[in-house]
Structures are given as structure tokens and as C-alpha cells.
């Protein structure tokens, strides 16, 4: 069962490569989609956010079967992130860097993770709710950072 958490980690590496290297263009797409956040969408911010995500997914893979809420929170994070990429593609009617790996890897692997944990008896209603909530929170944190930076910048500009 632990293999699925390692697969999600591998998928995250593929996802980051799709966003930034091949075909790339994530920073530019983010800046054009959310111009208010453009000054804060930097290569350093991307490195910190993605490095933190990959580091967190390593922890999920290492201890996630012992702490199902933690393991599944990583699955929830990639599921939510995949849905964000899919929504961006539908809304803008153009390719959002990361949507390919989201559809092919993130969303299916996260669903498989929840199914495997459920079949193994590790998925109670509480574990489902807590892991989904944490996964959503992980996705919201960088967006909240950009919003707070934007608000602070706007206030100091007055």
C-alpha cells in the first residue's frame, strides 16, 4: 500500500518538470491568470513552494502508512492541485502548465490512494475529512501568501 505514496511523490516530480521545464511556462501563465499576484510569482517563490511540496510528499511516503491522515493528505493535495490545473485550463480555454500530469497522474493516483487505504481499513470518516481538509489547506497556503503579499503591497503603495 505504501507504494502509492511513493508513486504520488514521483508524479509530483513529473508535474514540476511539466510546469517549469517541459513544456514549462507556469510562471508566465500564473502571472497572466492572476496579474494582481504577478510581482510575487518569482522563481524563488516557485522553488520554495515546490520544494516544500516535494519535501512534504517525501514525509508522506516515509510515514504515511503509519499515519494515514498524513499519507492521504498528500494524496488530497495533489488531487486538489490537479483540479486547480484542470479548472484553469477550462476557464482560460488554453493549456495550463501542469494539466497533463494532473489528468494522467495526480487525479488517478490520489483516487487510488484513497481506495487502497479504504480497502486496508485505514479510511474512517474522520481520516477522510481530516486528510481532505489538510490537502486543501496545503493548496491554499501559497495562495494565501500571494494574497497577503498583494494586500500589504497595496497598502504600502498608498
pLDDT digits (tens, 9 = 90+) for 41-59: 889 989 999 999 999 999 9
Tell me the pLDDT tens digit for each residue of 114-147.
999 999 999 999 999 999 999 999 999 988 888 8
pLDDT of the residue at 104: 97
Quick one: which of 109, 99, 76, 79 has its CA closest to 10? 109
Put simply, whether the predicted model's pTM sits higher than 0.85 gets the answer yes
pLDDT of the residue at 158: 59
What is the torsion angle, in degrees rounded to the nearest 10, for the CA atoms of residue 56, residue 122, residue 128 and residue 102? 50
What is the torsion angle, in degrees rounded to the nearest 10, for the CA atoms of residue 147, residue 152, residue 154 and residue 157? -160
For the chain, how long is the longest CA-to-CA vector? 57
CA distance 101 to 141: 22
Amino acid at each position: 500500500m505504501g507504494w502509492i505514496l511513493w508513486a504520488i511523490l514521483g508524479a509530483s516530480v513529473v508535474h514540476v518538470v511539466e510546469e517549469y521545464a517541459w513544456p514549462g511556462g507556469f510562471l508566465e501563465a500564473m502571472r497572466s491568470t492572476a496579474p494582481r499576484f504577478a510581482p510575487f510569482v518569482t522563481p524563488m517563490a516557485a522553488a520554495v513552494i515546490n520544494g516544500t511540496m516535494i519535501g512534504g510528499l517525501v514525509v508522506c511516503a516515509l510515514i504515511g502508512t503509519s499515519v494515514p491522515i498524513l499519507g492521504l493528505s498528500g494524496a488530497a493535495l495533489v488531487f486538489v492541485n490537479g483540479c486547480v490545473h484542470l479548472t484553469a485550463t477550462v476557464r482560460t480555454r488554453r493549456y495550463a502548465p501542469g494539466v497533463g500530469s494532473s489528468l494522467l497522474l495526480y487525479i488517478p493516483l490520489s483516487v487510488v490512494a484513497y481506495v487502497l487505504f479504504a480497502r486496508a481499513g485505514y479510511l474512517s470518516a474522520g481520516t477522510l475529512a481530516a486528510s481532505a481538509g489538510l490537502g486543501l489547506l496545503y493548496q491554499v497556503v501559497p495562495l494565501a501568501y500571494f494574497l497577503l503579499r498583494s494586500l500589504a503591497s497595496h497598502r504600502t503603495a498608498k
